[in-house]
Amino acid sequence: MSQQHTLSQAATAHAPEAWRGTVFLLERHSLYLGAAAETSLHASHEVKVCVALRGSFRLRTGHDARWLTCQAAIIPPGQLHQLDGRGAQLSLFYFPPEIHRAQRVVYSGRPAHPVPPELLARFAPRLRRYLDDGCDTGEAAEICLSFTDELIAATGSRVFLDGRIAETLASFQAAPDHLFTAAQISAAVALSPGRLAHLFRAQIGMPVREYLLYRRLRRAVLRMAGADSLTQAAHEAGFADSSHLSRTFRRTVGLAPSSLTRNSRFFRVGT
C-alpha cells in the first residue's frame, strides 16, 4: 500500500537554512522534496537532477570553479560538485547509474548540464503540488519514471549497456552481501580484469569498487530510514563502524547523515 506524506509550509519556514523535507527511497530511485541548505564538495554515485521549485540554488563543479545560479541541473555520477540551496525549495531526483534511463540521460562522459526548460515547465507544477500537498510512494515513483522518459526524449540520447556489464550488475543484484573479487567478476563474463574495469567505468561512470560501495551505502540509508541507529545501519550494510559510514556519506552526499535524518521524513519501498 502506498504511503502518504504531507510537508507543511510551517515546517520549512521554521528552519529555512536546513535540509528539511521528505525523502522517498523507491525500488531504485530516490526523490527529495523540501528546503535545501548547503553541501560540501562531493561526488555522488548516482545521477542527480536538481530542480528549484521556489527560489534558485547555486552550483559549482570543483574547488576553483565559479558558482553558477541555477534553476535546474543534471549532474552525472562522479562529478565533483557543491550545492548551495540558500533555503530554496528543491526537488532532487537520484537515479542509479546502472539503469538504462540514467545511462541515457548522462552519456559519453558529459559533465553537469541544464535541464531543458520545456521539461521544467511541464513537471514543476506537479512537483510544487507534491511539495505542498504531499504525495504517496506510487506517485513519487511515477514522476521519477516519467521525468526521465521525457528527459531522454528531449536530449535524444541513446546509450545501452554492454551485455557483459549487464550480467555483472545482475550478479551484484542477486548476491548483495557477497564480497566479490576482481578475478571472480571478470571470469564470470570472460573478460580480463583490466578490460572489465575499463568497460565498467566507461558505461557506469565509476570503478567497480565504487559501485559496490554505492550499493552498501544505499542499504545503510534504507536501514536508517527504518529507524536503525547509525551504528546498526553501518554494521548491517557492511561498514566497519558508524564513523566509516559517516565519512562515506559525507564524501558522496556532501552532508553528515544527521543533517538529513534530523529534519526530514523518510518513506521507503523495499528493504
Alpha-carbon distance 28 to 9, whole Å?
28
Q: Is 78 left (phi over 0), alpha (psi -120 to 50) or beta?
A: left
Let me know: does 37 contact 28? Beta carbons within 8 Å.
no
Mark whether 140 and 175 lie in a shared domain.
no
- Is the same domain home to 144 and 190? no
Buried b (16+ CB within 10 A) or exposed e, 39-76: beebbbbbbbbbbbbeeebbbbbeeeeeeeebbbbbbb
Residue-wise pLDDT tens digits, 6-29? 433 333 344 447 899 999 999 888
Side chain identity at residue 56, one-letter code: S
Worst-scoring range by mean pLDDT, 6-15, 143-152, 242-251?
6-15
Mean pLDDT calculated for residue range 105-125: 81
Are residues 53 and 129 both part of a single domain? yes
Given pLDDT bands bounded at 50, 70 and 90, which one contains residue 148? confident
Residue 68's Cα: distance from chain center in Å?
21
Does the residue 193 lie in any domain?
A: yes
Q: Is residue 258 part of a domain?
A: no
Does the pLDDT value for residue 263 go beyond 50? yes
CB contact at 8 A, 108 and 84: no
Residues 15 and 130 in one domain: yes
- Model's pTM, two decimal places? 0.85
Domains contained in the chain, number: 2
Mean pLDDT along residues 137-153: 89
So what's the pLDDT on residue 159? 61
pLDDT number for residue 156? 62
Cell numbers that stand for 135 in this block: 504525495
Question: Domain for residue 15, yes or no?
Answer: yes
Which of the two residues, 158 and 62, has the higher pLDDT score?
62
Instruction: Please give the Cα distance from 256 to 253 (Å, whole number).
Output: 8
Q: What is the average per-residue pLDDT within 155-179?
A: 80
For residue 182 the three cell numbers come to 576482481
Calpha distance 232→241 (Å, rounded): 9
Domain assignment of residue 228, given as a range: 163-253
Angstrom CA distances, 8 to 57, 88, 161, stand at 21, 15, 41
Is residue 3 situated within a structural domain? no
99 and 206, same domain (yes or no): no
Tell me: do 119 and 180 sit in the same domain: no
Q: Are 35 and 89 in contact (CB under 8 A)?
A: yes
| Cα gap 239→220, rounded to integer Å | 9
